[in-house]
Structure formats: structure tokens, C-alpha cells
Amino acid sequence: LEQIVIADPELASTQVFDSLVDVVTRGEPDMRDRAAKVLMRIGSVTPERITIRAFETLIELQTNVYMSVHLDATAALEKIINTRPELGVAFSETLKRLMINRDWNVRSSAVDTLGRFVGANPELATTQMSDVVVELLADDNAFVRSSAAEALGQLEGTHLELATPQMLEAVVGLLVDDNASVRSSAAYALEQLADANPELVTTQMVEAVVGLLVDDAWDVRSSAVDTLGQIADANPELVT
């Protein structure tokens, strides 16, 4: 099937995608693995024909414990995101459902995918997207919080109207998170904000970022330096 569809992409029908998804989700273990590989391959070469159901399955495959599967699923999603901006609303609805999944791997993968999607198609960002991402900033899992902060950076960096005081307060709060990756991602989100919307940067934000310059984690210190550099370029009066 894989070779047939790759040779003639016109054969990549909804029925083909749905049949593969059925096997991936309900088939025998060995068949699930083989169907997943075919689904990722076909999704990569025919992104213009992918279905929402297959897209959702690819997001879940990003959480696979095998790195090769994770990378293949991510590559397929990147091509779909860049090729199918007209499906933005449907994709965002799918991602919103996955972002409240009980499995933290799925939540983290979904919000990460949303960040990349908005980065490639900023015109499709919505208030509903940002609301769901803000909720994940308080997730119990650090990986989810970190992914949410980075995704929020994409939203803040492309849409001024989406950056609310509550959103900014939530991001600043993550600068003192127990997890270093979360702190680094929060600093990145503020860097994006300072780049696109310098008028929203406050003295409180600057002071919070300055505190990260002595963080135990080098990547947090590095992110803090980048953020302060961006703030200095846009609002030099706040760092002098």
C-alpha cells in the first residue's frame, strides 16, 4: 500500500487514511507498528490529503517511546502544518481536544505542535488557542508547562491582542518554577513578547528575568541573557 500511494499520491484517499488509523489504534501489536510507519510515510509525501483523524493519530505517535517513530511523526506533522494552513481551524480544534488528554505525553506533544503551527501560520492564532495554552501553564507535569510556555511565546510574539495581563502574569510566575526547563521556556516566552510587543514589558518582568542571571541551570541563565538583550533593544530605559 505504501509503495502504491507514494507512486500515485492521488490514491491517498480518506478511506486509506482511516483504514490505517484503525489498524494503528485497534490492530494487533505488530500490525500497529507497520501501519504507523506507513501512515507517517504517506502523511509526509501527501500532506495535502491528510485527514483530521490521521493528523490526530500522528500527534499521538509523537509520544512513542521509540525515537525513530517520534522523529518520523514530527517530520510528517511539520510538512502537514506548512502545507495545509487552510485547515487551521480544524487542526486547532483537534489540538485543543488533545491538550486536555489524561496522558501528559499527549498534552505536551499537542501544545508543542500548536506552537509550531502558529509559528508557521500566525494569521490563524485565536483567543481560544491562547486560553487553552494558558491553562496548561499550571499543568501538574513540568514537560507540559515548558511546552505551553514556548507555545505561548509564539502566540504572544505574533498577536498583540492575545497577550492579556493574566497571560503575562502566568508566564512571569513560571520564572520561579521548580523545573529549570520551565523557567527557561518562560524566559523565552517573555523574549518573544519583548520583541513583538515591547510596550507590554514592565519593570516587574525585567526584575524577574534579572533574578535568573544567577540561576543554577546554565540554559536558564542563557535564556535570561537573551531576554534581557531583547528588552534592552526595545526598552532601554527598563534595564538602566
Give the type of residue at 73: A
pLDDT confidence tier of residue 58, bands split at 50, 70 and 90: confident
Interatomic CA distance for residues 99 and 90, integer angstroms? 14
Scored b (16 or more CB within 10 A) or e, 183-215 reads bbbbbbbbbbbbbbbeebbeeebbebbeebeeb
Question: In sequence order, which residues have a C-beta less than 8 Å from that of residue 54 and are 6 or more positions away?
Answer: 17, 18, 20, 21, 39, 43
Determine if residue 8 is left, alpha or beta; phi over 0 gives left, psi from -120 to 50 gives alpha, anything else beta.
Answer: beta
Interatomic CA distance for residues 229 and 240, integer angstroms? 12
Res 163: pLDDT? 66
Judged against a pLDDT cut of 70, whether residue 160 lies above it is answered with no
The predicted model scores a pTM of 0.73
How crowded is residue 238: how many other Cβ atoms within 10 Å of its Cβ? 17
pLDDT confidence tier of residue 216, bands split at 50, 70 and 90: very high
- How many residues are recorded in the chain? 240
Averaged pLDDT of the chain: 80
Report helix angle 52-61 to 104-120, nearest 10.
Answer: 120
Res 149: pLDDT? 92
Res 159: pLDDT? 59
Res 39: pLDDT? 81
For 14, the grid coordinates are 480518506
pLDDT confidence tier of residue 196, bands split at 50, 70 and 90: confident
